[in-house]
Structures are given as structure tokens and as C-alpha cells.
Amino acid sequence: MAQVFISHASVDFAIAERLSAWLRAAGHRTFLDHDLESGLGVGDIWARRLFEELYEADALVAVVTDAFGQSPWCAAEVGIALANRLRLLPVRVDTHVDHRLISNEIQWTDLDGDGESARAALLEALRRLDGVDSGPWSADLTVYPGLAAFTAGQARIFFGRAAESRQLAERVRAQAGPRTDELVLVIGPSGCGKSSLVRAGLAPHLAADPQWLVLPPLVPAAREKATALSSLASLLAVEGRRGLAWRTDALVDALDDPGEITRLLEVLLDAAGARRLLLIVDQAEELLVETSEEQQILFASVLREAVRGPARVVATARSEFVHPLMSLASRTRLPVDTFSVRPLSPQTLPLIVTGPARHAGIEVDDELVARLVADTGSGDALPLLAFVLGELAAGVPRGGALSAQHYERLGGVRGALVQQANRALSDAAREGGRTRREVLDSLLQLITIDDHGQFTRRRVPLDDLPPLIRADLRFFVNRRLLTIHRPASDPPGGEARSGGEAGEDGRPGRGDDGGSAIGAGPGRGLQTGTTGWRARGILGRRRAPGAGAAQPTGDAADTGQVIAIAHEQIVTAWPPLADVIQASTARLRLGAQALDAAGHWAQEGHPASHLWDADRARRAEHTLGGRATFPNSPGCSWPRAGGAGGFNGDGSPSFSPRHSSRRA
């Protein structure tokens, strides 16, 4: 049941009390500022109590009259409701009255006659709100979901994406018009919050509209031994409990004919009394990793027929998978309209901290907010911010507070980084059969040293990293300690990462070669095998034994993805990595010099005069040989007999003992 704030002018109290009685009779809780039973008590500070009730409410019922339109308090209450994304339910008492803050796009109800139609409309709206929300706040609810995606039931604590949520909802509603049959593909870098936007932003917007039936999100092949098509069939079977008695196996057989989806959805909508249906395909890249090509084409064909009918399909995908997904859509003639999600700005971060706390009745120290914003910076470590907030809020009761002192005791962002990094290191060493030092050396690929002796992060093209190193790094990608993105789309300072892409079951996916796909969220689309590594058409091909440096091929050359450490504090605040960096200063400095020299050599057209002499080359070989500390960057290779250069399987540079050139 919902908690409802009833906003009204003082002269309209009798009308507001009537509405309150309707809602209470249906089991909802209401707040009226003059209600002696649950309203203001003796000694209450009037304005503070009103705003506290607003922050805790699930919906605001506005009793719109002439007096309501003239009241600054009513306007303030509506403004707070809009800012905090409360469901706004305007009841027009006088038919000629509107309100400047309440859009005509919001569904109004008129209080006329015996009021029965208005009563039914309010109760239906709240019933639908219960379907996407978890009811009034309780101590059992999570204040900050950490690295997991927000859900529809957490919509009220999902802050920072109000504008994008409205824009996406408007885009989808527009798609429901005539002559529009496109799938909306929500794209953005890993960890930017695409899943949360769709689940906690878009879905509640549409679910509150009685004309829309919103299905639970579908993750392709999220269950063991399930295909994308069988997952869709299972979802439809569950929704078919509306008296349709559908069976999953029968639906799978029916969907072998893609055109059958239109009939099934029309039947489902008829049973639900709705006109439009929203199907969410979350983490659509799983379709590429988990599903055979034949099943990919069949599933995409089913989606094509769905958008031609009564359904609107919204899918989410990481940026590095856009090219192959668009290729699949082209092959199946599925029209696609993209919706890009940009990283959150630093100006939004305070709202991410304070918004959920307000709903939970928890105070947040101003100093803590400032520290969190400063430590998170431009948003690179946003998932870690969510993790820290979860730790801070654990066990804090309603009326309690988060404080900067507690933040200090946890070690700040560094505490979260250390905890996550230690787990990633242990997982990589255990599952890969590697030593901890070998895994740490893989991380050194992403570190460089500047002319002033300062260590810093380095962005490395994924195609330039050997398979074994990528297998190590995937565990750090899992925990959002590393990021993958396209350089051309970077905003200044990198892209923000918000919790929201975790897999639904934590189960690693399987590819066709037992390879490992780096860059997926925790437990999603990540595979490793003893025979090597390959991401299907995204991150390059496995090179043959003894071959030179792996070259970008297929989609990898087109995507140009790079991998980097998510936050500078990882470089200095995590002791295992900091110690290895200090011990490797000479190698890192020489590696940086070699990269600079190679880049300059390539820029000048590879003149012999720019080559290092043989003695310097041998010293570099001695220093850089052994463990992997010198990634295979474009234009930087060590020549050997026959002119070929490359790297061994562990990422160390490959030199030939037969090399006789006096310059390298």
C-alpha cells in the first residue's frame, strides 16, 4: 500500500478529507496537514513536518481548485514532488482550472457527480504504483543498492536521471504512434547506469499509465541452459497467468514463427486491459555472447515483429557492443533508434548521496557530502561511491546520520577500493592459476610514469593486450575497478560509473570457444578457458602460437576500445599495487621512454636515425624482459630476425637471439 500526501488549499480541506477517506478505506496511508489523527501534532514545526512527509510519500494527490492555484505552499509541495519524482495525481475540482506546474501530459481526473469515477481512477493509479514500488519506506529496504542495478521498486531512491527518464519515456511514447516501428537501443559506457535508467526510470513512468503494460526486464540467457527465445517465452508464460494458462514449451514452439509474437502480445494486452506493451531487453550484448548465430537471428526477428505490432522494445547495451548489435539488426531488418546515456556530472553527485538518505529518514553530514564528491571526482568511481554509501548506511536506523567521521574510519573511497581490489586479485590468481605477482604485473600494463616521476593511469587499446593479461584484468573489470570505453566518446575526465549493470544470477556466460569476454558487468558475459581468449567479434582475435603481435581484426578494429584504471586512488591507495609500482619504477620509466620513442619514430616516418643503438636495446631487453610490463602499443615493437616483433603469451616482449642489427 502507498503513502499518499494530499496537497490542498485550506479552504478545500473538506474535499481533501473526502479523498483521504477513500484512500484509507482501500488500505493506503495518507497525510493531511489538518488531519488530527495522522497529521500535525502538538509542537510540530509546520514547514519541516510537511516537507518530511513529502520526502517519505510515494504519491501526491493535488486537489486543484482556484484557491490551490493561488497558494504558494501548494506550489511548493508540487515542486518538491516533481523534483523528488513522486507520482503526481491531480484531481480537478473545478473543470476550468489548470495549474502551471502540472503538465497536461500527466493524466488528470475530474471530481464530478458522486465522485465515483475520480475514486476509481485514484485507486487504479495507486494500484499500479504498488506494482512498481515496494510501498512505504521501512528499515528492511536498501538505502543504497551498491553495485547492483536499481529496480522499479527502488524508483524513489533513483536520483540524478530525472531528465533522461522523462526524455526516454517521451521517446518510447512517440514510438507508439503511427508508422513507427523501431527498437530503442539505450547505449553508454560500462557502469554509466543504463540498466538503472530503464528499470527505475522508464519502467515506472510507463507503468503508472493504465494504457501501458510493462513486463519485467528480460536478460538474454540469464538462466542456465536458456536461450534468449526461451527466456522470452518464460516471461510471457508468467504474464499469461492472467487467465491465459500459457506454457513455456508451447510458447517456444510458437515463437519459431516470429510473426506469432504479434498475436500473443495482443492477447496478453487484451487480458490486461491495456493498449501498449513495454518489453525491456536488458544487457542485450548477452545475446551475442550466450546465443548461437541462428538463435540470434531468430530472436532479433521476433523483436522486429513485436515492434511492428503493439509492443515497444527498449534494449540496453554497452557501447563496445553497438556495432555487432546494429549489424544483427541490419541482417534481420530490425529498425533501431539509439538513445545515448552520458556519464553523470559532478554537479549531480550530491543528489546521489542525499536523495536516498532523505527518503530513509537519515541525515547526511554536509562535510561527508563534500568529501564524497571530491573523492569521486568526475564520476570515474561512481560504482565505488555507491559501495561506500552502502557501507556507511549499514545498520543506521531512521533518524540516524551518516558522518564524515564514519567515512574516515572506513578509509573513505580508499577503503572500498582496497576491499574490492583484494577480492579481484584473489579471484584472478585462484581461477587463472596465476601468482598474485603475475596478476599485479598484468595491472602494470595500465600504469605509466611521467617526466616528474609521478605514477598515473594509462589507457591501453584492448587489442594490444595479450590474451593472458586480458584474462587477468577481467576480474578487475567485474568489480568496476577497470573501465572500458571508446576514446572518441570520452567527456573530459573520463566517464562516470554508477552501479547498475550487475548480472541477475552472477553466472559467467559461455562463448563458443571457452574464451573470455572482458568488459561485462559482474558475472555477465565473462568466460575464461585454458585454450585462450576471444571476445566474439569485439576485442580482436586470438593469435596463433608463435605469431607476431595480435592485430585488430573485424569489429575490434572498428570499435577502438581502450581499458583503463577507473580511479587514480587505486594506483596509490591499494598497497599491493602501490608496492609493485614502486618496485618496478625502473621498468615503468624505461617502458614509458620506449613508448615515447616509438611514437616519435613512427610519427617521423620510421627513420633509422631515431632507432636505439644495440647496447641500449639490449639493456632495455634485460630490464623489460620477463614479467609483462611493456604492452604492445601501436608503433612500438622490438625487431627481431625477419623484421617481426611481438610478445610472448604472458605479455613480455619477444626478442630473437639471432637479431644482429646494431640499432633497434
Q: How far apart are CA 517 and CA 499, in angstroms?
A: 20
Q: Which of 31-45, 266-280, 286-300, 530-544 has the lowest mean pLDDT?
A: 530-544
Q: How far apart are CA 419 and CA 620, in angstroms?
A: 36
Q: Is the pLDDT of residue 97 over 60?
A: yes
Q: Which of 77-91, 219-233, 459-473 has the lowest mean pLDDT?
A: 219-233
Residue 137 pLDDT level (bands cut at 50, 70, 90): low
- Taken in order 222, 228, 230, 235, is the CA torsion positive or negative? positive
Q: How far apart are CA 459 and CA 486, in angstroms?
A: 11
More confident residue, 528 or 390: 390
The domains of the chain are located at: 3-132, 161-340, 415-581
Chain centroid offset of residue 607 CA: 47
Residue 655 pLDDT level (bands cut at 50, 70, 90): very low
Q: Is the pLDDT of residue 92 over 60?
A: yes
Mean pLDDT for the chain?
Answer: 74
- Residue 161, SS3? coil
- pLDDT > 70: percent of the chain: 70
Superfamily of structural domain 161-340? P-loop containing nucleotide triphosphate hydrolases (3.40.50.300)
Q: How far is CA 370 from CA 84, 236, 428, 496, in A?
A: 21, 47, 35, 17
Our CA angle for 316, 467, 612, nearest 5°, is 120
- Residue 562, SS3? strand
Q: Read off φ and ψ for residue 401, nearest 5 degrees.
A: -150, 150
Q: In 57-161, which residue ranges form alpha helices assigned H by DSSP?
A: 66-70, 72-83, 116-132
Instruction: Supply the DSSP string of 475-511, one letter for each residue.
Output: HHHHTTSEEEE-GGGPPTT-----S----SS-PPP--
Q: How far apart are CA 427 and CA 440, in angstroms?
A: 12
Residue 205 confidence (pLDDT)? 84
What does the pLDDT look like over 14-66, one tens digit per residue?
Answer: 999 999 999 988 878 888 876 434 445 544 556 677 777 787 777 899 999 98
Count Cβ atoms below 10 Å from residue 42 Cβ, excluding itself.
4
Q: Is the pLDDT of residue 261 over 90?
A: yes
Q: How far apart are CA 199 and CA 212, in angstroms?
A: 15
**Which one of 1.10.510.10, 3.40.50.10140, 3.40.50.300, 3.90.230.10 gives the CATH number of domain 3-132?**
3.40.50.10140
What does the pLDDT look like over 204-216, one tens digit per residue?
Answer: 888 878 889 999 9
More confident residue, 38 or 268: 268
Judge whether 3-132 and 161-340 match in fold: yes
Residue 567 confidence (pLDDT)? 62
More confident residue, 389 or 544: 389
- pLDDT > 90: percent of the chain: 24
Residue 631 pLDDT level (bands cut at 50, 70, 90): very low
Which position has the grid cell 554509466? 192
Residue 526 confidence (pLDDT)? 26
Per mean pLDDT, which of 50-59, 193-202, 497-506 is the most reliable? 193-202
What does the pLDDT look like over 397-417, one tens digit per residue?
Answer: 888 999 888 888 888 877 887
Residue 178 pLDDT level (bands cut at 50, 70, 90): low
Average pLDDT over residues 165-184: 80
pTM of the model: 0.54
